[in-house]
Each structure stands twice: as C-alpha cells, then as structure tokens.
Chains A and B, each alone.
Chain A
C-alpha cells in the first residue's frame, strides 16, 4: 500500500561569518537569513538553486590597534569605502550558495516546493565574527511509504510509537520524514564561488586517497555529535537490495570531525517497552570529490550531519585562519563528482531484533556493527539507532 502526503527535508546550518578588519561590530542591530532561490526542472530532477542571503545592520566599532607596527595602526578607509546606511549603520550582506537536487518523482507539484528558514539564531563570539545557526527546510516533497513484507508494521502501532518513543535529540531534524526516508532519494549541496586553493586541494586529495584506500572512512553527522569509523573491508559493504531510496547528503570530504567521548552518538536504548517501531534507513552519502565549481577551503556543518563536531573543527581552524573560516556553510554541502562514495544507513532496532539479525540482513559482520556503533556489548535494545555502513555504487546515487 502506498500513500502520499506532503513532507519536507530539514537541515541545519552553523556558520561563521568574519567581517573585514576595521568593520568590526560594536552592536548588532538586526540580522536576517532569507532564501533567494530558483526552482528548475530538468531530466527528471528538480534543481533548487540560489542562496541563503544573510543581511543585517550593525553599529561599527571604532577600534584602536595595539600593534607596535605603525602600518597596522594607522590604516584608514578611503572615502569610497566609507559606506554607511541611513543611520550611520554598517550593513552586513553575505550570500551562502545553495544547490538542492530532488528527483522529480518525489514532488507532486513544483508550486508546492518551498525553501524556508524555520529557525535562526546568532552569536557574536568576537566583534569581527558572527556565528549563526539556522534550520532550513525544503517543503513540498512527496511523502511516500510502501509497505514491505519484511518491514510490516501496524500503522496504529506506529502512531502510538511516536507517543511512546522518545527520539534521540539528534533525530529531531528528521521529525517529519522519519518514515519516508526509506523511499527518498535526493541530495542537496551548496557550492562555493571561488576556486579552491592549492593547499585545500592537496588536503582534499589526501582525503580522497584515504577514502578510496583500504581504510574507508564514514562520517556520521548528528545534532550533537559526529563520529567517524574506519572500515577495512569495503567489499562487505554491499549495496542493500531494498526498495528504499537513500537520502544523500553530498558533503565535503574535508570535513573530518574528531570523535569526542562526550559527544559520541552512542545509540541510546529506549527504556520503556514500546510497540513496534518504524524502521528508518536513510542513507547518507559522501562524495569524495568536489564539484568543479566548488571550493572547499571551508568547513561546514550540517545539523543532521554532526554540526557540533564540525563546529569545533571549525572553531579550531578559525583561530588559525580567518580566510578559511569565512564561508563554512557551503563546504558541508559541496557536491562531488560521486564516482565513488560510501553511504551510511540508520536503522532503528525493532522488537525482537538482535545484532546478528541486523548484521545478517545488511550482510555485514556483527563486529563491524559493534565497531561502527561503538557498542560496549553485543546487545541492542528496541528503538536503538544503529548506523549501517554500505558501499554505494555510482548508479545508485540520486
């Protein structure tokens, strides 16, 4: 049985924007983030392209330099550079390129397709930097669910499960699409306008080698955590032969959030016995190569994909180079050529399932499941989230 209802794809961004020297903020008066996009249909795909436009007003800081060098202390702006708004207020304008591709079949009507900024917040860690966080959603995507014999569940129970089941925090962003992830196939990306510099390229290439080599690295991004796992036997990660379409988040391979214990996404066993749960298996794809038009000298954070870790990564980088941190957003969404990439599925453990049954179903070893999910014991509980690494073939990408 198949039925449809409108749904949305939600993702979060966490970004730092650096202001130029001499234009630091004394007081931020207003800040807004608005999508400025166009929607185009071509070759059974729908392309949402444009940008998230950040704009605002601030009172510039009149700063003094403590440098010993006169050259640093005494520079001032030319008349042309001294541009002020009506109230002697500085203007902030910054554009984050956005590129989302969705299969046409997943959309009923293009007119129903909207990109909205659901939530937006910012902080000023320094006078020259704005850290912003936003939840962005693409609505109007077809909600489609197909019953599968192996995943049979009672719809009533499923609804009840929503009541009983307290979803881990990291899955809040999937709230509206927890179920339909099975059937979705799309990816979103953002591209940066500038070309990547050599250093970045080198770093990137080294990462590609790492990914292509024996050691396969998967990155899992969550709201509060990210972790990476190395896989030594890539052959065993066969493409799962199910009718679920993967959710593909093309990300910059440069993102390499470090694992930290406190943020480790340890699957949380659900304490209360629950009715049968929906099993969701979204697939997260990582493209090892950036788009030709993409520059990847930034770090990016995607809430679904571990913004916190990436954020720490970004914070560390920011101390060393402002330039590197000027445009983080797009990196997380950088599209790759996708000649070869891996994906990651999430599986919610059902009643009666064990590591063995799950491993058998996905044709992987139990030990890999344990290692991937950093389990302390060979037991899983109903409702627990497991990450299933699989190797994606090029033809399976959306």
Chain B
C-alpha cells in the first residue's frame, strides 16, 4: 500500500489522512479515491476513455487526477494506481431524459474501437449456448431440476429469437465502452451530473446499454424510457442495426446463465431460493424491457417507413 507521504508528495497535498485505508483519502482538496490496477494497458485505455468521454459529453467524470509532474498513473508495488475525486451523492434522473439521453447517446458512440487490452465480449464464449442445449432432467429429477428445465426451454426460445434478430441486423461494428452496471454510477456534485466510470474491462456490445434501460424502465416507466430512447437515438442511432442488436441483447437470457453458474454447487434450499428470486426478478425485468423496446422499435420503424 502506498504511504500517505508518498501520495502527498506525488499529488501536492498539504494535509491528508485515510478515511479508508488504502482506498479513500481525505485531503484539503476534497475526498479522493485510490484505484488499483493490475493491467497497465487497461488503465491506459480507461485514462483515454474518460478523457474522451468528458470532452465529448461535457460532463464531469471520475478522470485520473494528475500528479504534480503531470502523470495520470503512478506505480506501486502491487501495480498501477490512479487517484480520483470521490463523489457519493446520487444523481436524480427524473425528468432529465433529454440531458441524460444525450449523454448516453454520446457514451455509446464514443468510437473507441481500437483497444489494446483485453475486452469483455459476452458472445465470445459459448457457455450460454452449451447450457441451453442440455436438458437438466434426469430419471429422478428434483423440483429444482424441473424448474431449471422449464427455464432452459424458454431461455432457448429467447436465445434463438435473439440470434435471428442479430443475424438480420447484420454483423456491423458494435460499440466498445467502459462497462455500466447501474444508473447509480451517476452522481451529482455542485449541482452537476458526474459520471463514475467503473474499472472493468472494456465491454463490447450492448450489455451496458441494456443495464441502463432496464433500470430506467423500472424507475421511471415506459413513457420516460421512450423519451430517453428518442434522445439516445439522436446521438447513437437505434433505428438502425444498433437498435436491433440492442433488442437481441435484451432478449438473450443472460440471467439464465448466471443462475446456472451460481447454483451449480449450491445445495442449500434457502440459498437456491434466493437465487431463484433473483432470477425471477431479472427475468421479469428483461421481459418488460424487451416488450417496451419492441414497441419503441415498431413505432420507430413505422416512422421510418412513412
């Protein structure tokens, strides 16, 4: 772990103390968060991503704070370290579809396609496909197995539909973005929208957009979602192949794969129940999003046709 003295010296702080050891630093310039990285290429990609995002969207993001020597990254015994402003107040998206739609539109059209690090491509491995092909039933199937088999069949149906839509959309260039897991990554500082990027691998595809839309629909409803989609569409055309690929992504039963992976070695009934509830919740969220997105695309398609 880096020492307080070393960090003060690098970043020019006069006073500092750990709020959380090795993680949160309280300085005379505000609360800062240290992020450790194990891959230099990934951290360099993220430096570039956040710079471009701030430039293209005009929004505040958790960019890397420069050292007094102008460096964004410092080296430690454990790898690479970056320092960021720590903002904790959550942003309220309510009635901000225009502004946030534009942000996400630019987010997904940032165009950082040349990636010199390992990216996360959910379609790269065929785990989902494998699990979808195998029946979970045996001669003495338990109730759990029967449940799983029912879900598998419906998941396969979803997968096949998604595949068909994706094939029809064409295998054109998909966005590569910093992963988004929740709308809670949006914070507010001095009344301004502040986006907190995660440090995960760059992600190929529409999984992050799916997460954004799923949560948006749950929080603000379909009408608001349609407004958001309309705004996103202005920056990142969803009426074209992106929209179809996004729909395919939403249809793909990732929650089934997660459930199978998580419950493979679970034998406790209570724990299984928790996972089952999570699956049910995610499944229903996907179902509602797919339905809403399908309706939006149908309307969008009609407008294009007319």
Residue positions of A touching B, CB distance < 8 A: 60, 62-65, 69-71, 73-80, 82-88
Counting chain B CB atoms within 10 Å of each CB, the highest count among A79, A80, A83 belongs to A79
Nearest B residue to A63 via CB reads: B157
Least Cβ distance of B304 to chain A in Å? 13
Cβ–Cβ < 8 Å partners of A87 in chain B: 137, 141
Cβ–Cβ < 8 Å partners of B280 in chain A: 79-80
Nearest A residue to B141 via CB reads: A86
Counting chain A CB atoms within 10 Å of each CB, the highest count among B146, B157, B158, B280 belongs to B157
Cβ–Cβ < 8 Å partners of A60 in chain B: 153
Counting chain A CB atoms within 10 Å of each CB, the highest count among B141, B151, B154 belongs to B154
Is B271 part of the contact surface with A, judged by Cβ < 8 Å?
no
Instruction: Give the contact stretch, choosing among B65-73, B83-91, B203-211, B289-297.
Output: B289-297
The verdict on A76 contacting B157 (CB below 8 Å), with A70-B298, A82-B150, A88-B150 known, is: yes
| Chain B residues with a Cβ closer than 8 Å to the other chain, count | 31
Residue positions of B touching A, CB distance < 8 A: 135, 137, 141, 146, 149-151, 153-154, 156-158, 160-161, 164-165, 247, 251, 279-280, 283-284, 287, 290-291, 293-295, 297-298, 301
Would A75 and B291 count as touching, CB distance under 8 A? Answer: yes
Cβ–Cβ < 8 Å partners of B301 in chain A: 70
The verdict on A70 contacting B297 (CB below 8 Å), with A78-B283, A78-B287, A79-B284 known, is: yes
- Tell me, in angstroms, the Cα distance from A71 to B160 when the chains sit together: 16
Least Cβ distance of A370 to chain B in Å? 61
Would A73 and B153 count as touching, CB distance under 8 A? Answer: no
Cβ–Cβ < 8 Å partners of A78 in chain B: 283-284, 287
Least Cβ distance of A264 to chain B in Å? 48
- Tell me, in angstroms, the Cα distance from A69 to B85 when the chains sit together: 47
Would A76 and B298 count as touching, CB distance under 8 A? Answer: no
- Tell me, in angstroms, the Cα distance from A74 to B283 when the chains sit together: 14
Would B161 and A64 count as touching, CB distance under 8 A? Answer: yes
Least Cβ distance of B287 to chain A in Å? 6
9 closest Cβ contacts across the A-B interface? Answer: A70-B294, A84-B150, A82-B150, A71-B294, A79-B280, A88-B149, A82-B154, A74-B294, A70-B297
- Tell me, in angstroms, the Cα distance from A56 to B118 when the chains sit together: 52
16 contacts between A and B (CB under 8 A): A64-B160, A70-B298, A73-B294, A74-B161, A74-B165, A74-B291, A74-B294, A75-B291, A75-B294, A76-B158, A76-B287, A79-B279, A85-B146, A88-B135, A88-B137, A88-B149
Cβ–Cβ < 8 Å partners of A79 in chain B: 151, 279-280, 283-284
Cβ–Cβ < 8 Å partners of A80 in chain B: 280
Would B298 and A71 count as touching, CB distance under 8 A? Answer: yes
Counting chain B CB atoms within 10 Å of each CB, the highest count among A63, A78, A84 belongs to A84
A-B contact count (CB 8 A): 76
Given contacts A71-B291, A71-B294, A88-B150, could you give 8 more A-B pairs where the C-beta distance is less than 8 Å? A64-B160, A70-B294, A71-B298, A73-B294, A76-B158, A76-B287, A77-B154, A85-B146
- Tell me, in angstroms, the Cα distance from A60 to B153 when the chains sit together: 9
Would A69 and B137 count as touching, CB distance under 8 A? Answer: no
Cβ–Cβ < 8 Å partners of B283 in chain A: 78-79
Nearest A residue to B282 via CB reads: A79
- Tell me, in angstroms, the Cα distance from A76 to B287 when the chains sit together: 7
Question: Do most interface residues of chain B lie in helix, strand or loop, or is the interface mixed?
Answer: helix
Would A82 and B247 count as touching, CB distance under 8 A? Answer: no
- Tell me, in angstroms, the Cα distance from A77 to B284 when the chains sit together: 9
- Tell me, in angstroms, the Cα distance from A64 to B164 when the chains sit together: 9
Nearest A residue to B248 via CB reads: A74
Would B150 and A62 count as touching, CB distance under 8 A? Answer: no
Would A86 and B146 count as touching, CB distance under 8 A? Answer: yes
Counting chain A CB atoms within 10 Å of each CB, the highest count among B149, B164, B295, B301 belongs to B149
Would A62 and B294 count as touching, CB distance under 8 A? Answer: no
- Tell me, in angstroms, the Cα distance from A75 to B286 when the chains sit together: 10
- Tell me, in angstroms, the Cα distance from A88 to B139 when the chains sit together: 12
- Tell me, in angstroms, the Cα distance from A86 to B149 when the chains sit together: 9
Cβ–Cβ < 8 Å partners of B149 in chain A: 84, 88
Cβ–Cβ < 8 Å partners of A63 in chain B: 157
- Tell me, in angstroms, the Cα distance from A135 to B284 when the chains sit together: 44
Least Cβ distance of B274 to chain A in Å? 14
Cβ–Cβ < 8 Å partners of B293 in chain A: 70
The verdict on A73 contacting B141 (CB below 8 Å), with A62-B153, A82-B154, A84-B149 known, is: no
Least Cβ distance of B122 to chain A in Å? 19
A84 in complex: contacting residue of B146, B158, B247, B251, CB < 8 Å:
B146
Nearest B residue to A87 via CB reads: B137
Would B153 and A76 count as touching, CB distance under 8 A? Answer: no
Nearest B residue to A76 via CB reads: B158
Cβ–Cβ < 8 Å partners of B294 in chain A: 69-71, 73-75
B154 in complex: contacting residue of A64, A69, A71, A76, CB < 8 Å:
A76
Would A74 and B154 count as touching, CB distance under 8 A? Answer: no
Nearest A residue to B153 via CB reads: A88
The verdict on A82 contacting B153 (CB below 8 Å), with A73-B294, A74-B294 known, is: yes
Would A70 and B157 count as touching, CB distance under 8 A? Answer: no
- Tell me, in angstroms, the Cα distance from A173 to B146 when the chains sit together: 45
Would A84 and B141 count as touching, CB distance under 8 A? Answer: no
- Tell me, in angstroms, the Cα distance from A69 to B299 when the chains sit together: 10
Nearest B residue to A65 via CB reads: B161
Cβ–Cβ < 8 Å partners of A82 in chain B: 150-151, 153-154
Cβ–Cβ < 8 Å partners of A65 in chain B: 161
Would B153 and A74 count as touching, CB distance under 8 A? Answer: no
Cβ–Cβ < 8 Å partners of B135 in chain A: 88
Nearest B residue to A68 via CB reads: B301
Least Cβ distance of B219 to chain A in Å? 20
Cβ–Cβ < 8 Å partners of B137 in chain A: 86-88
A76 in complex: contacting residue of B165, B279, B290, CB < 8 Å:
B290
Cβ–Cβ < 8 Å partners of A69 in chain B: 294, 298
Would A62 and B160 count as touching, CB distance under 8 A? Answer: yes
- Tell me, in angstroms, the Cα distance from A155 to B295 when the chains sit together: 75
Cβ–Cβ < 8 Å partners of A76 in chain B: 154, 157-158, 161, 251, 287, 290
Least Cβ distance of A127 to chain B in Å? 14
Least Cβ distance of B129 to chain A in Å? 15
Cβ–Cβ < 8 Å partners of B141 in chain A: 86-87
Nearest B residue to A73 via CB reads: B161
- Tell me, in angstroms, the Cα distance from A65 to B158 when the chains sit together: 12
- Tell me, in angstroms, the Cα distance from A87 to B137 when the chains sit together: 7
- Tell me, in angstroms, the Cα distance from A79 to B256 when the chains sit together: 11
